[in-house]
Amino acid sequence: MDKFITIAVDGTASSGKSTVMKIVSERLNFHFLDTGLMYRAYTKYCLNNKINLLESSSIESLIKSFNFSFDNENVYVNKVNYTSFLSDNDVVTNIKYVANNKIVRDYMVGFQRQLAFNKNIIMVGRDITSVVLKDATLKIYFDCSIESRAIRRFKQNENNGIKPNIYEDIYQSILKRDSNDKTRKEGPLVITDNAWVLDTSNLSIEEAVDAVINKIKKIIN
């Protein structure tokens, strides 16, 4: 068994992977990184620097000055805390231009591998099992029915007072997100042959956490 344990996690949007694996990391005392936050942070970094996100060369121009760091609660760019900006509407709207850029993705993949070096870490994303950490100790793929994900998102929006909150719109949005993730040219979402698939459609958060911890313990013991 390797000295350090790397757990690579991919999965569909709103399948619970970040929520579940964050709790798992806390209980097992692992580092945790949701790589989607890196792309969000870079998007905000570009916006702050007035970059034209419709031009690939402009997006790529800042990548070498993007110094990303994290702890289990916050993300930083050039030592500035970006955590509170990552769900801003301008980030959500424009992240697709950043995430689909090959130069940016190649840089992020290399950076993510550096961040995983010599530590027990859980890394979550869309191409972690297939691209970033191909030799991970354990690979997990989270899946969940579109219906279950749409209902969860609808209830979350309702509890948070987010409007408009229309179930059919949420359903179609998730359907479109799945299609985009699975068909994009760079780092498409796939189930690797050696990944453990966890369907969370009928699992509570705690049930999913327990299932993952039991799986990890079997691997490392």
* 195 annotated ligand-binding residue: no
Q: Is 18 annotated as a binding residue?
A: yes
* Kind and range of the H or E run holding 49: none
Report the half-sphere exposure of 108 (CA within 13 A, side-chain side).
29
Contact 70, 114 (CB under 8 A): no
16 is in an annotated binding site: yes
79 annotated as a binding-site residue: no
Beta bridge partners of residue 199, listed in sequence order: 143
* 161 annotated as belonging to a binding site for a ligand: no
- Residue 106 CA to residue 112 CA, distance in Å, equals 10
Contacts of 145 (CB under 8 A, 6+ apart): 201
Contacts of 90 (CB under 8 A, 6+ apart): 44, 47
Distance of alpha carbon 33 from alpha carbon 47, whole angstroms: 23
- Residue 142 contacts residue 101 (beta carbons within 8 Å): no
With CA atoms as reference, report the closest residue to 91 among 22, 128, 36, 132. 36
Is 14 among the annotated ligand-binding positions?
Answer: yes
| 36 assigned ligand-binding residue | no
11 is known to lie in a ligand binding site:
yes
15 is in an annotated binding site: yes
Annotated binding-site positions = 11-19
Q: Which residues are annotated as a binding site for ATP?
A: 11-19
